[in-house]
């Protein structure tokens, strides 16, 4: 069983996907982390994340330890991630790992939850359950700002908003695997829903789907 959760930056995919995986006892993969780690690796080597050779080399050399650390959560790394993510060869390099985890989840789990931008469209188009989360850019900037402020009291809302807008534009406009809702995804607008309400709605859909399979 594969559950795909896609949506734009700070739409609440990560929190939701983690909770769903826990509730279902499935494996969980935050695919954004792969792009963030690739972008961070290029930055650490003083490279340009938009440079294909540097980005592909970083993606090819990712190791498990590159996927750890709070530094990956910064907006600077998010921006670098969306630059490496627009390079087709980088996406190709990261695809196998994502598909393998989805189809043969580690630890003998019976399923996997993946969150990202292209899970329902490219990584796992065969996933029987797909969700697409959205919220207005102001609401998303507000949520991300609050998260960042907990770690850095000097965070600036206007800057977070601008970075999200730029990242949305880059993620939606790229030629390869752009941010796009799969035709068979369930759309959830989270503007006026808190995290618990989104979780409840998603679990209700999953149970309905599983019930229909019995």
Max alpha carbon distance in the chain (Å)?
Answer: 54
Does 81 participate in binding ligand CDP (rule CB under 6 A)? Answer: yes
Backbone angles phi, psi at 6, to 5 degrees: -120, 165
Q: Does the annotation place 15 within a ligand binding site?
A: yes
Spell out the long-range contacts of 144-151 with Cβ–Cβ below 8 A and sequence spacing 24 or more: 144/9, 144/10, 144/75, 147/73, 148/74, 148/75, 151/70
One residue of 26, 35, 131, 132 binding ligand CDP per CB under 6 A = 35
Measured CA to CA, the distance from residue 59 to residue 51 in angstroms comes to 12
Q: Which stretch binds ligand CDP (CB under 6 A): 18-26, 61-69, 115-123, 184-192?
A: 115-123
Using CB under 6 A, which residues numbered 160 to 179 contact ligand CDP? 167, 171
Beta-sheet strand order (sheet of 2-6): 27-30, 112-116, 2-6, 129-134, 186-189
Is 13 assigned a ligand-binding role in the annotation?
Answer: yes
Q: Does 38 bind ligand CDP (CB under 6 A)?
A: no
User: What is the Cα–Cα distance from 59 to 41, expressed in whole angstroms?
Assistant: 8
Q: Of these, 2, 31, 163, 198, which contacts ligand CDP (CB under 6 A)?
A: 31
CB of 116 to ligand CDP, least distance (A): 2
C-beta closer to ligand CDP: residue 111 or 116: 116
| Chain positions contacting ligand CDP, by CB under 6 A | 9-10, 14, 31-32, 35-36, 78, 81-82, 85, 116-118, 167, 171
């Amino acid at each position: 069983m594969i559950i795909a959760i896609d949506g734009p930056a700070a739409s609440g995919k990560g929190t939701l996907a983690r909770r769903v995986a826990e509730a279902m006892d499935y494996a969980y993969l935050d695919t954004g982390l792969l792009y963030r780690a690739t972008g961070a690796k290029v930055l650490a080597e003083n490279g340009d994340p938009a440079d294909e050779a540097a980005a592909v080399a970083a993606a090819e050399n990712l190791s498990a330890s590159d996927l750890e650390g709070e530094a990956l959560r910064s907006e600077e790394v998010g921006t670098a991630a969306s630059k490496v993510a627009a390079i087709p060869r980088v996406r190709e390099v990261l695809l196998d790992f994502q598909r393998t985890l989805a189809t043969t989840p580690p630890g003998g789990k019976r399923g996997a939850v993946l969150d990202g931008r292209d899970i329902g469209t490219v990584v796992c188009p065969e996933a029987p359950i797909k969700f697409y989360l959205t919220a207005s850019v102001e609401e998303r900037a507000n949520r991300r700002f609050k998260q960042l402020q907990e770690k850095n009291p000097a965070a600036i809302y206007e800057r977070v908003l601008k970075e999200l807008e730029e990242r949305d534009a880059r993620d939606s406009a790229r030629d390869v695997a752009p941010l796009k809702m799969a035709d068979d995804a369930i759309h959830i607008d989270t503007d006026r829903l808190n995290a618990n309400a989104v979780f409840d709605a998603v679990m209700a859909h999953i149970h309905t789907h599983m019930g229909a399979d019995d």
